[in-house]
Amino acid sequence: MDHLSQLKDTADKITSMEIRGAGRIAKAAALALRDYVESLEVGSIGEFNRHIENAAKLLVDTRPTAVSLPNAIRLTTQYTSSDVYEAKEEIINNAERFIRQANDALRKIGEIGARRISDGDVIMTHCNSNAALFVITTAFEQGKDISVIATETRPRRQGLLTSKHLLDYGIPTTLIVDSAMRYCMKKVDTVIVGADAIAVNGALVNKIGTSQLALAAHEARTNFLTAAETYKFSPNTIHGEFIEIEQRSIDEVLDRETLADLPELNVLNPAFDITPPKYIDLIITDVGAVPPGMAYTIIKDHLGWEVSEIV
């Protein structure tokens, strides 16, 4: 397979969710750009720029919600040289740096988040978040006797991936259907989920059902944490932009036969929802455990975007 086909293959895998999870898609995009650039043979910097723009667009268009994707692509494709060879080197270095820092961020989030987990805690998590799992497994490796309640996470049932991962570590895990989250909340000490995006006001965009989980935790006075690398914060939201909620195929919800039996049925399949900052106790990032009100500072200090730059 040539490198453009490989790039398209990565884009298709992100769209179909064969590669999924906000962090994983960001790293896959950075890697795809690195490999693409390595093989790119062009005659001029103008041609090079056009190829990079097209490649970036192909990747960024795959999934609209997880801001990790445009952030990773922007950080990877920032180059200053007008010499093709040097510009290539810059992109390759950027991609490798992004992947290295993203992996390091997970380790730091694990360390910081594990301090919020006590011996004997019951933790509830939703969907399948690498960042949230790093917190849970780090706490377990520190010798804390913990157990986890994992929500199934319809329609794609990522809760099964989470359960398998935790069981492989030897962490006692119970799977529940999503609608049992409030019923089971009374047993829970801490809820921890991942993040597809954090807006400038500290609102969390994460897998559909997260906002219900946050409400149930709030009502029960249970801690609600989200684990988010700094590249999951959305710079565009300081420009007043909304974060688009991805609507996925209804085939994920019902099989074709059932749909054929109910031709007049409308089915919706929003992939994400928004949890207001007032329901979030802490955001566990790689630069510290911060309240949602610090989102702007993270965007400014760690992504380099400021309100003053807006024209």
- Tell me if 20 contacts ligand RI2 by CB under 6 A: yes
User: CA-CA distances (angstroms) from residue 164 to 159, 167, 176?
Assistant: 9, 5, 14
Q: Is 290 in the site for ligand RI2 (CB under 6 A)?
A: no
For residues 135 and 225, what is the distance between their CA atoms, to the nearest angstrom? 10
Instruction: Please say if 286 is a catalytic residue.
Output: no
Smallest gap from residue 16 Cβ to ligand RI2 (A) = 11
Among 127, 213, 282, 290, binds ligand RI2 (CB under 6 A): 127
Cα torsion through 165, 171, 177, 178, rounded to 10: -80
**Interface residue with ligand RI2, options 206, 230, 234, 285 (CB under 6 A):** 206
Q: Which is nearer to ligand RI2, 129 or 138 (CB)?
A: 129
CA distance 143 to 137: 10
29 belongs to the binding site for ligand RI2 (CB under 6 A): no
Choosing from 10, 21, 28, 198, the residue that interacts with ligand RI2 (CB under 6 A) is 21
> Which CB, 158 or 285, lies closer to ligand RI2?
158
Q: Where are the beta strands (DSSP E) in 140-271?
A: 147-151, 173-176, 190-193, 197-198, 204-207, 223-227
Query: Which residues within the stretch 229-288 sit at the binding site for ligand RI2 (CB under 6 A)?
Result: 271
Residue 131 interacts with ligand RI2 (CB under 6 A): yes or no: yes
Q: Does 196 bind ligand RI2 (CB under 6 A)?
A: yes
The yes or no reply on residue 23 touching ligand RI2 (CB under 6 A) is: yes
The H or E element that residue 173 is part of is strand 173-176
Give CA torsion, residues 279, 281, 285, 290, to 10 deg.
120
Please name every residue paired with 160 in a beta bridge, in sequence order, or none if there are none: none
51 vs 157, beta carbon nearer ligand RI2: 157
Q: Which of 35, 83, 121, 127 is catalytic?
A: 127
**Phi and psi (nearest 5°) for 149?**
-105, 120
CA distances from 232 to 33, 87, 108, 282 (A): 19, 26, 15, 15
3-state secondary structure of 198: strand
184 flagged as catalytic: no
Least distance in angstroms from the C-beta of 14 to ligand RI2: 9
Which residues contact ligand RI2 by CB under 6 A? 20-24, 127, 129-131, 158, 193-196, 206-207, 271
Which residues are known catalytic residues?
127, 196
